[in-house]
Structure formats: C-alpha cells, structure tokens
Chains A and B, each alone.
Chain A
Amino acid sequence: MEAGNRQKNLVVLVPEHEFQSLIDFLADRTARLVSDPARTVVVGIRTRGVLLAKRLLEIWRAQLGWEMPLGAVDITLYRDDLDRGPRIPILKGTEIDFPIDDRLVLLVDDVLHTGRTVRAALDALSDLGRPLAVRLVVLVDRGGRELPIQPDAVALRVEAAPEERIEVHLRELDDEDAIVRRK
C-alpha cells in the first residue's frame, strides 16, 4: 500500500481474504428475507450491484438449490441530477427480461449512501411492474442518507465523513475484492 499518490489516502477496510465471509454473511441475511424462492427475482443496480447479485445467486444455488432470474437496472434515466452535470452519462441499459409483477424483488447494490440511487431504482422498477415487495440488499451502508431509505440486509456498516468515498472493489472490474475508504 505504499507509494503512489492514489494510494496515499486509501485505507483498506476489508481486505481480500476477509471479503468472501462478508459475501457469505450477506447471502445468509438476504436468504432469510425470502419466503418463496419460486416467486423471488434479483435485480442488481448497475454496475457493481449486478456483480454482487451474481455472487449471491451462486451461493444460493450451491447451498440452497435456488434458481432465480437476475436482472440489471440502469438508473441513469431516473436520476434527479441528470441536467446538472456538464456531461451526459452514457446508458448501459436496463435488462430485466422477466415479469416483476407480484414477485419479491431483491434489489442489490454495493454501497448505500444518500439513498438517491435507490430512489431512482425504485422508480425504474415501478415503470416495469408492480412487485409484491422490494427488499434492499447492500454490502456496505456508509450512512449519510438524504432520503428516508433503509436497507433490509446489510453486511457492513461504516461511518464515513461526507468527503470520504467508500468503494467496493470487485475482481471482475478492479483485479481484487476489497472494501476501501478514500479521502
């Protein structure tokens, strides 16, 4: 972790060797929210929420024999700050090719902060149908909410100052599994 300006203000909260147990913990917590696996679907918030959702599904498949459809929601079009930035975000697209009506939706994201992303995701979901219920599953809750939104399953709670960033690194994108704090 020495050298390099980028690394200077970076603190590793969860290193690679502890990461898997956190995922296992979250899988267990989330599984308790499910009463009918046949009527449950999983939707990840792009991009890291989808990768996390995929890992949860792998655990449930191996341990419980659950097979649930996985979808991805791109919240870009539902953001409340779309016309504020100097540049427009490129869409990655929502891909939910199964009905969510009367299903339990497990909505998965990596970090819960202001709650605005989740608000946008809920609006996106309601344009696709009327779920039985939506449960919010996050790996890290870092506090700092600006909307009345709370997680139903969470693996790690950290206190972070407003100027700090809490990042979940995932092997698929970042060459390591870790949770870090950046100042």
Chain B
Amino acid sequence: MATDLTGPAKASRAWTRRHLLDLEHLERWEIEAILDTAASFREVSARSRKKVPALQGKVVVNLFFEPSTRTRTSFSLAAKRLSADTIDFTVSASSMAKGETYIDTARNIEAMGIDIMVVRHQTPGAPHVLARTLNCSVVNAGDGAHEHPTQALLDVFTIRDIKGRIEGLTVALIGDIAHSRVARSNIWALTKLGAHVIVCGPPTLIPRSIAELGVEIAYSLDEILPRCDVLNVLRIQFERQRAGLFPSIQEYFALYGVTEERLKRAKDDVLLLAPGPINRGIELTPGVADGPQSAVLRQVTNGLAVRMAVLYLVSGGAPRPALVH
C-alpha cells in the first residue's frame, strides 16, 4: 500500500551476531529484528522468481545428528532462495560410526569452506560448542531438550502476523513441556515480547523449575482455555519419553487433547499452532488440525521466511581470517 511505503524508516539498531544459538540470550529488539526481516523475506517467496542473490557464493551445510525432515528441508530451501549453495550432512551411518568425534566431524566439514553450519544434535549446548570452536556461523536447529530457536521464531512470527501483536496476549503451551526444546524457546521469545505464557500438561511432563522463567503453570486445560488467545499444541515426544509419565494415551487425550468440543469453550478467535509433526487423535483431532483456527500450514510457510531471515542476518559481518592448518 502506497501509504505504508513512505512511512518513516524504522530506527533499527545494527545486527552484529554471527550465530543464532538460543533465544535466551537475545535482546527483545533482536527478536523483533528477525521477525521484521522475515516479513520482508515473505515477499520473495511470493514472487514467481523466488530467489535473491544475498548469499551468492556462500555455502550452508545442514549438519544433522538427529532425524528431521521438515526443519532440514526448510533450512535448505531458505538457503537456496538466498542463492547459497547447500549441503545436507546427516550423521548417523557415516563417519560417527567409525568413531570420529562430534567436533572433528564439524571441523572436517568446515574445512571444505563452509560459511554457515546449521546444526541439530541430541545434546544440549552442542551448537554452542561449535560456535566456540569453528570460524563459520552456527545456527541451532535443535539441541536436545534445550532450544529450537527458529521453530519458536516462526511460532511467534505467525502469532504476530495473525494477531497483529504479541504484547498482552495469553499464550498456552500445551503438552510435554519437560522434553520440549520448542516450549523452552517459545517461553523465552514470548516472555521477552511481553506475552503471558501458560504451560499446561500433566504434572509429570512439567518441571517445577519452569516457573522461574516467568510462566504460569496449569494442570487443567479446561480451566485456562477461556482466557487463552493462542494454543500451541506440542507433540508428545514418544522417542524421548521414558515409560510411565502419563497413564495412557487415551487419558492424555481426554485431559489435554484439543477437540472441536473443547474449542467451543475457547475464545472465538483463538489461534491454534502446532510445531508438528502432529499426532492426529493424540494432541488434537483432525477436525481441529484442519479447522479454521489452525495455522499449522501457515507456520510451515512462515518458517521458510524466518529461516531466510536468520541465515541472512548471521551471514553478515567481516569474515574472520581462515584457519591456518
């Protein structure tokens, strides 16, 4: 719109970070800078020629020590839209099986001339170790149960996009909080941006210490439902679960499953997010997942713009001198 075009330029501070490791240590303005940058990148994805030359000649590697399809694909496509070259390096069968250490693997890949390393690892803090060891930029694509910054950023971006703001909203994170890096990153982002965060789930899946992050703890979804603006339905992580944290899937679904019936007691404009992959019939019903309040697919689309923004922002800065071997 012509009126928006000529508004005064935002007095933005300069972005100088070379890594995105977590949201805990980002300032509010930095989170907002990522969201604003992502909003600009959405325009690129709407073009018929979906590419800009910003990262031409740069190499982005996806170094994944855990299985992932959507996050890896999203990062790859984001890098390609910025004209970077991309390599996928999925570690399970290859060199790690031969006994190479994590850092040696990363160093060897970096020696091929990598500019940005996107890392997923089962150990919390693994990307932080690489950021201290390597010269390239490091982006955390999920480290154990610690953080998953880009997922939280795309959640927050989607909320801001649809609700027009974050400040003052009540956002519930529902389900397995204890094992969820998505929950942790969401808590950091949402509280920094001024939302009221409720974590809701069975007591066995909510660590008491989470209250220290400034969130409300609730064990009854039905009680909190009427005052929520956003429901972010986390996946039950069967692969991280020890047995016995809740009696049965049926009971979980009865208490915490988001159903059409339950949604009737929520606000009319309640927004439903799910980081996926969703377990239909466990965390939410198919009717809800595909219903009018669900933004699940918009999250995926927005994830691309957010990851473009992150890759673009960390790519800046004077390159450090190359390692001398």
Whether, in the assembled complex, B39 has its beta carbon less than 8 Å from a beta carbon of chain A, the answer is yes
CB contacts (< 8 Å) of B316 on chain A: these are 82-83, 85, 87-89
Which stretch, A3-11, A32-40, A66-74, touches the partner chain B? A66-74
Q: A44-B5, A70-B2, A173-B8 are in contact. Are A93 and B39 (CB under 8 A)?
A: yes
User: Contact: B6 with A92, CB < 8 Å?
Assistant: no
Interface residues as binary, A139-155 with B (CB distance below 8 Å gives 1, 0 otherwise):
00000000000000000
A91–B36 Cα gap in the complex (Å)?
8
Which of the residues A46, A50, A90 comes within 8 Å of B33, measured between beta carbons?
A90
Whether, in the assembled complex, B4 has its beta carbon less than 8 Å from a beta carbon of chain A, the answer is yes
CB contacts (< 8 Å) of A92 on chain B: these are 9-10, 40
The B interface, classified by DSSP as helix, strand, loop or mixed, is: loop
Known contacts A50-B5, A82-B315, A124-B52; 13 further A-B pairs (Cβ under 8 A): A50-B6, A70-B2, A76-B54, A78-B52, A78-B54, A87-B316, A88-B14, A88-B315, A94-B43, A95-B4, A95-B5, A95-B43, A172-B6
Closest partner residue, chain A, to B313 (CB atom): A88
* CB of A71, distance to nearest CB on chain B (Å): 7
A83–B318 Cα gap in the complex (Å)?
7
CB contacts (< 8 Å) of B12 on chain A: these are 90
Chain B, 17-59, CB within 8 A of any chain A CB: 33, 36-37, 39-41, 43-44, 47, 49, 51-54, 58
Binding site for A on B (CB under 8 A): 1-2, 4-6, 8-10, 12, 14-16, 33, 36-37, 39-41, 43-44, 47, 49, 51-54, 58, 82, 312-313, 315-319
Which of the residues B15, B41, B52, B312 comes within 8 Å of A127, measured between beta carbons?
B52
* CB of B321, distance to nearest CB on chain A (Å): 14
Closest partner residue, chain B, to A93 (CB atom): B40
Whether, in the assembled complex, A51 has its beta carbon less than 8 Å from a beta carbon of chain B, the answer is yes
A146–B33 Cα gap in the complex (Å)?
32
Whether, in the assembled complex, A47 has its beta carbon less than 8 Å from a beta carbon of chain B, the answer is yes
| Residue from the set B10, B33, B37, B319 with the largest chain A CB neighbour count within 10 Å | B37
User: Contact: B8 with A90, CB < 8 Å?
Assistant: no
- 28 A-B Cβ contacts within 8 A? A44-B5, A47-B9, A50-B6, A54-B6, A71-B5, A72-B5, A74-B40, A77-B52, A77-B82, A78-B52, A78-B53, A82-B315, A83-B58, A84-B318, A85-B316, A87-B316, A88-B315, A89-B316, A90-B14, A90-B37, A91-B36, A91-B312, A92-B9, A92-B10, A93-B39, A94-B40, A127-B52, A128-B47
Q: A87-B14, A92-B40 are in contact. Are A77 and B318 (CB under 8 A)?
A: no
Closest partner residue, chain A, to B40 (CB atom): A93
User: Contact: A88 with B312, CB < 8 Å?
Assistant: yes
| Residue from the set A47, A86, A91, A92 with the largest chain B CB neighbour count within 10 Å | A91
* CB of B220, distance to nearest CB on chain A (Å): 43
The count of chain A contact residues (Cβ–Cβ below 8 Å) is 35
Whether, in the assembled complex, A123 has its beta carbon less than 8 Å from a beta carbon of chain B, the answer is yes
User: Contact: B315 with A83, CB < 8 Å?
Assistant: yes
Closest partner residue, chain A, to B56 (CB atom): A82
User: Contact: B40 with A51, CB < 8 Å?
Assistant: no
Q: A86-B16, A88-B15, A90-B36 are in contact. Are A127 and B9 (CB under 8 A)?
A: no
Interface residues as binary, A49-81 with B (CB distance below 8 Å gives 1, 0 otherwise):
011001000000000000001111010111000
User: Contact: A54 with B53, CB < 8 Å?
Assistant: no
| Residue from the set A71, A83, A95 with the largest chain B CB neighbour count within 10 Å | A83
CB contacts (< 8 Å) of B51 on chain A: these are 127
* CB of A122, distance to nearest CB on chain B (Å): 13
User: Contact: B41 with A91, CB < 8 Å?
Assistant: yes
| Residue from the set A54, A69, A89, A123 with the largest chain B CB neighbour count within 10 Å | A89
A77–B195 Cα gap in the complex (Å)?
32
Closest partner residue, chain B, to A97 (CB atom): B1
CB contacts (< 8 Å) of A86 on chain B: these are 16, 317-318
CB contacts (< 8 Å) of A82 on chain B: these are 54, 315-316
Closest partner residue, chain A, to B39 (CB atom): A93
* CB of A58, distance to nearest CB on chain B (Å): 11
A108–B172 Cα gap in the complex (Å)?
47
User: Contact: A91 with B47, CB < 8 Å?
Assistant: no
Which of the residues A51, A83, A90, A97 comes within 8 Å of B6, measured between beta carbons?
A51
Closest partner residue, chain B, to A43 (CB atom): B5
User: Contact: A77 with B14, CB < 8 Å?
Assistant: no
A109–B319 Cα gap in the complex (Å)?
31
User: Contact: B317 with A88, CB < 8 Å?
Assistant: yes
CB contacts (< 8 Å) of B53 on chain A: these are 77-78, 123
CB contacts (< 8 Å) of B319 on chain A: these are 83
Interface residues as binary, A166-183 with B (CB distance below 8 Å gives 1, 0 otherwise):
000000110000000000
User: Contact: B8 with A70, CB < 8 Å?
Assistant: no
